[in-house]
Structure 1
């Protein structure tokens, strides 16, 4: 359809902003070349014991890296003294860093194994024994609580309304995006009797959206409508996406598989990135004037872990945007994508996929349908269009700034961990004074251990705060930024569709044919009159020629009138669709308040916990010996 943005053009919109990967969250540029040896490659290519991979995976890596605090928890079960743990961290992790790679984690575990065997802890010694490294002993590794914070759902605001999860039938119809389709008792019983968790198998023919022609409601209760809309926001599905354990393919052509889980449907399927791409291409043809979410971009060559992690988050936002849209979430293709257990490439061979746009299935429409569209729609669309570019840039800026804040908090957590380790090591070092029977020095060393424990707790709280900031705010800000970008692209498609106005072309063609028809009828009448008077040169067959031409042009005019009627109805449907989309866009702003409420509540909780932690430490430091005469 003319003016419709292709899926490939829309893929990178949500990733058009800079990645904002901040290496130094404090703003200064970290000097390069201080450590010419890349520790992450020292053990590359070696068949390391399984515990190396297990420890790294348990530490919940993000973007191929784990935090210093998570690494410290692993070292905590090694049984090594604090001074040794501190030495290992200082060897592997630079003071300006708060995360390490898998290769650096392997080097750390190798140093742990060497320390447990009383070997010298140097990189040179590690390199010399890289072929015959001992295996680290980490009892209770699987029992470590890495304190993962579940992602808060900003759409799950508490309410007295019950949370009802309606199953979605592949053949369900949607006329009003804000109204529920009532499922009869008979239909519900049939659905419950079908296997695969109550959802029907993939159809043999996957048609275009079976959207019935909507009618104007006789009466609308505003209060009931508000409750219905609020209930809809409570009933949205939540899609979780994670990496499948193993890549498929051969050598350089391996691809990553994704595990896609639907919370409401309780289904789990395996999908490739190309499956997401294909689905968006089909949806772009079916729903040319809906708010279509964007996919993260493709990448040629081998993708690194940071890129794959960003793509995973982008795919998660994409799928959740689909299932939150009141029309797209019920499309048979989306339902099949989330529920069909077999590989999608095989499933596609057994079904016929229709790419007809949604307007085709909704014609003809009632004459009263146009009355639903507000007269100010075009003005509202233009107003949104003017504001969107600035709003998108502001959201990109907020994402950037909050991402830096999150990384600074994470860096602070890592620094507190280092401080705690050093203080613990100091307590062991100064436990015995050079003066025999010195009570105060022993009391001071004991206090070091208590202070270290509280500072380590501070590190835990700050890391929780950083993780919550990222999941409760950074990703949700990106969600709304993506919504703004998708709305902007919708309005751009609408503008491009106006450039080739088929209705205007039909009107001009009808006017031209009507002028030709009038001329032909006049000529036919003249020819008939001349033939009837027996004029010289009169040809009785000329009237028949004119009749054939008149019939042909008349048929063309009737055909164009019918096509013009269809185009006018499509224009009404387009306007109605745009009205519903900006209504959905507008109502989505209500989720922003919940997002900030969750964020502020988390900040208050962390601040209170930090206050309680420091308050509990206060009597400990006040009990430390501070009389000068006590150190005679």
Structure 2
């Protein structure tokens, strides 16, 4: 019972509630990493400025909603003001036809549970309905001024079908009339115009070259999870013993520098060969609430696998225990009853996490990581396999070159970064928040551009109806076109159509710019994650690098004095007592040697993370991020400039007299 899949449409909702439920409107949400805590086994914080503060990220809210009086003045009933409803409408919204769901999945390319107004406008334009009818449908269904949620979108499709089947004027398109027509409501018909104007940009996802909607179908092995040797097929349940793996040097993949800090020209451009792991949200829940993610790497041949959030937690726990002195990003938190915005933000954070790990020059070959990315039956594998979480210093040894590469002033170098981490993190947090505000403005601008196109197109259709030369009243008191439009009305109507098409293109290009800024924000967060990883590394180092060498030395010193006393007194059985003390001293001395080797290994790790991983990632991620943003913005501005230039040419060639 509790594992039964949930219905796609959700629970029972009345016709008045389906457009006003909390999940339907854009909600303000905090950055899902705002309440993050250090990795498992780590407590406390670092610095005076905590970038994971509870400051909310900007909500994707639209332009201010109309007041009730303004709505009444325009005689356009807002859906939230509708009372009652019928089972027919409620059933259609909760259990829509398959084509409704397919269209929504195609247009919801980000998986956040809503569709931008520009995409909805683009789809409804192919319905061949008058612009005024399309504007009325969007006004009825869009409570959020910048997008339509799932149930709002389904209602919009139903209103399109109603208008098509009954050939209604915009004034006759109402939610009440839709409710009464549900039993015999046909499917909406979307066909692109044969003379659709060429757009200046590639068709968006979910559309073919002629902008008609496209519906596409939705769409092991492992090895020893501790083995850090190159990956092979199959895995073993056995675990290496201490000393089995002797590292001859750190992998240079992930940096153009070797572990001794010398430039390796063979590794130049390494950032072009990085592994990419895609993380997508699986819409079907496991049981009532368990959410799964589809994981697929472009460099591992196992194909796509599904993982739960708890699987990511298991992976991070293993990596923290094995590599406590390596850079490791944090995971986003869990939330009971998360909304679509939170789920999307968490998906992005999980994607940043796994891509950080798979491109770390040491952890990328970890056995547990490979099983996480490739094993199809992951839960059963975890049940039958005991995974070692032994610290890497117990099984890896440094060579002389690596020991010599550790600078004598390593502590001073680390302190330089530690002293400036707080201010850098604070600056990056401000960059992220400001970029998210810019993103919210772009989303609103795209929606407003679509609404401008709708209004202009509606006016172009009304020109002939309001002209005394082009139309007159019939016996029923309705306006009829009496013949060809006059020359002036033809010119105005043609000009307004060009203006409306231009604003539609502006909305599409602005939507492309939304994608550009979204990618830029993710890049900023990736760089921020890098600094946060070093903050957590400093915390782990302070806690886990401590040992009892001094204590053991004191114990050995005390035993040596006792041995001398026993020799001096020479009491019966003193030889046996001395042998026992010497044996204990030998054991402690061996432990001290191992601990001193661990101290050196820890220093080597910290130097490697600072000089190779951190330094290289900081450079290429920062520069490439701003390069990509600059190039994308230039291309976007060129396309928008061409739109206005073409409109200018069209308008200048038209007579105004």
TM bucket normalised to smaller: 0.7 to 0.9
The structure-2 alpha-carbon separation of the partners of 1:317 and 1:413, relative to structure 1 and needing over 3 Å to count, comes to same
Instruction: Measure how far apart 1:134 and its partner are.
Output: 4.1
- Unpaired runs of 5+ residues, structure 1, are 150-167, 175-180, 184-190, 192-198, 525-541
2:445 match: secondary structure: helix
The structure-2 alpha-carbon separation of the partners of 1:19 and 1:129, relative to structure 1 and needing over 3 Å to count, comes to farther
Instruction: Measure how far apart 1:401 and its partner are.
Output: 0.8
TM-score normalised by structure 1 residue count? 0.79
Output the CA distance in 2 between the equivalents of 1:619 and 1:378. 66
Instruction: Measure how far apart 1:247 and its partner are.
Output: 2.1
1:6 match: secondary structure: coil
- Is 1:259 the counterpart of 2:294? The answer is yes
1:241-277 superposed Cα distances (whole Å, 9 cap, x missing partner): 112352222xx3x422221111122422122222111
Instruction: Measure how far apart 1:603 and its partner are.
Output: 0.5
- Is 1:291 the counterpart of 2:334? The answer is no
Identify the match of residue 305 of structure 1 among 323, 340, 346.
340
The structure-2 alpha-carbon separation of the partners of 1:513 and 1:133, relative to structure 1 and needing over 3 Å to count, comes to farther
- How does 1:118-517 map onto structure 2 within 5 Å? 118=166, 120-129=172-181, 133-139=185-191, 147-148=204-205, 200-205=233-238, 207=240, 211-214=245-248, 225-249=263-287, 252=288, 254-266=289-301, 267-300=303-336, 302-340=337-375, 342-363=376-397, 365=398, 369-431=402-464, 433-435=467-469, 438-471=486-519, 473-498=520-545, 500-517=546-563
1:197-237 superposed Cα distances (whole Å, 9 cap, x missing partner): xx5123333558974244799x9899983324434322210
Identify the match of residue 59 of structure 1 among 85, 107, 126.
107
Match of residue 570 from structure 1: 598
2:115 match: secondary structure: strand
Output the CA distance in 2 between the equivalents of 1:565 and 1:452. 78
Asked if structure 1 preserves the Cα contact closer than 8 Å seen for 2:250 and 2:361, the reply is no
Asked if structure 1 preserves the Cα contact closer than 8 Å seen for 2:293 and 2:308, the reply is yes
- How many aligned residue pairs are there? 555
Match of residue 153 from structure 2: 105
Asked if structure 2 preserves the Cα contact closer than 8 Å seen for 1:377 and 1:579, the reply is yes
Asked if structure 1 preserves the Cα contact closer than 8 Å seen for 2:495 and 2:654, the reply is yes
Asked if structure 2 preserves the Cα contact closer than 8 Å seen for 1:173 and 1:212, the reply is no
Output the CA distance in 1 between the equivalents of 2:182 and 2:44. 48
- Is 1:616 the counterpart of 2:646? The answer is yes
Output the CA distance in 1 between the equivalents of 2:326 and 2:532. 13
1:414-463 superposed Cα distances (whole Å, 9 cap, x missing partner): 11111111111211110363235731222111111112111211111111
1:430 match: secondary structure: helix
- How does 1:571-590 map onto structure 2 within 5 Å? 571-583=599-611, 584-590=613-619
Asked if structure 2 preserves the Cα contact closer than 8 Å seen for 1:170 and 1:331, the reply is no
Instruction: Measure how far apart 1:406 and its partner are.
Output: 1.4
Output the CA distance in 2 between the equivalents of 1:393 and 1:426. 49
The structure-2 alpha-carbon separation of the partners of 1:564 and 1:24, relative to structure 1 and needing over 3 Å to count, comes to same
Instruction: Measure how far apart 1:131 and its partner are.
Output: 6.1
Match of residue 90 from structure 1: 139
Asked if structure 1 preserves the Cα contact closer than 8 Å seen for 2:109 and 2:205, the reply is no
Instruction: Measure how far apart 1:10 and its partner are.
Output: 10
Asked if structure 2 preserves the Cα contact closer than 8 Å seen for 1:39 and 1:107, the reply is no
1:133-170 superposed Cα distances (whole Å, 9 cap, x missing partner): 443223479x9986149xxxxxxxxxxxxxxxxxx986
Match of residue 214 from structure 2: none
1:535-558 superposed Cα distances (whole Å, 9 cap, x missing partner): xxxxxxx332x3232222222222
TM-score normalised by structure 2 residue count? 0.77
1:353 match: secondary structure: coil
The structure-2 alpha-carbon separation of the partners of 1:137 and 1:369, relative to structure 1 and needing over 3 Å to count, comes to closer
Asked if structure 2 preserves the Cα contact closer than 8 Å seen for 1:208 and 1:355, the reply is no
Asked if structure 1 preserves the Cα contact closer than 8 Å seen for 2:162 and 2:181, the reply is no
Output the CA distance in 1 between the equivalents of 2:105 and 2:412. 53
Match of residue 20 from structure 1: 57
The structure-2 alpha-carbon separation of the partners of 1:52 and 1:78, relative to structure 1 and needing over 3 Å to count, comes to same
Structure with greater helix share of residues: 1
